[in-house]
Amino acid sequence: MQHIKGRKAVVSGGGSGIGRAIVGRLSAAGAHIAVADLHLPPGLPASTHPFMCNVASAADIDALFSGVQEKVGTPDILICSAGRGIHEKLTEGDPEKWREIIDTNLLGALRMIRAFVPGMLAAGAGDVVLISSVSAGQAYPYGGIYAATKSALEVVAETLRQEVLPIVRVTVVAPGVTDTPFFKNTISGFHTAEDIGYGAIAADDVAEAVLYALSKPPGVSVNHITLRPTAQPF
């Protein structure tokens, strides 16, 4: 982890689930971390600086950028983990809820990229990690809006990789069913990790994959990692 110690990171969605696990791993590796989330739990590592932030809000991103510059400095790691789920039929669902998912899962990541990646380019190095999903490119009933945001996010990731190479590395981590509060916090829907029936990986498994990519030497890029319960068919 010598490539992480002393580095400065911003983690959106860092208050719970996969984002929280990533924060823990980064802290243990010696990074200084800005944690951005709508809900900030007690017990965050001492090496973190918490920021209340809704990534769907341009004003919140502006405030986050200013706060990170003041408290942490220009980050060289950006982790976009903030996201919400939705489970609605396209012919019956609520377009205003769809907009909320798109604003969070896709535009939120784009806003974070636009805010923080220019500083990495100016500094001459950086890493961007986008938390996607195995649902990217995988159509399934009632999952159209969520899967569409993750499919678009992966197109954004590859576009960004081509635009910023060789200065900034870009990694997509796409988990399958993961045991986190994600299902409880879906904007609509009723699934749990248990009733999907494939088993579940732990948030820390995903965080470990993120750290694997970040810990590679500067000349090595890990651009896409997929991990899922062994029984999950897609």
CA-nearest of 158, 162, 119 to 8 is 119
* Token pair listed for 176: 């399958």
Determine the Cα–Cα distance for residues 122 and 103; give it in Å rounded to an integer. 28
Token pair for residue 135?
């649902």
Say how far apart CA 214 and CA 126 lie, in whole Å: 10
Helix (H) or strand (E) holding 144: helix 144-164
Give the max Cα distance, the chain. 51
Pairing of strands 48-52, 168-175: unpaired
* Known catalytic membership, residue 97: no
Which residue among the candidates 8, 140, 142, 150 is catalytic per the annotation? 150
Active site residue 150: yes
Question: Which is the catalytic residue, given 146, 198, 212, 216?
Answer: 146
CB-neighbour burial class of residue 217 (10 A; exposed 0-12, middle 13-18, buried 19+): exposed
Amino acid making up residue 25 = R
Q: Which residues are catalytic?
A: 146, 150
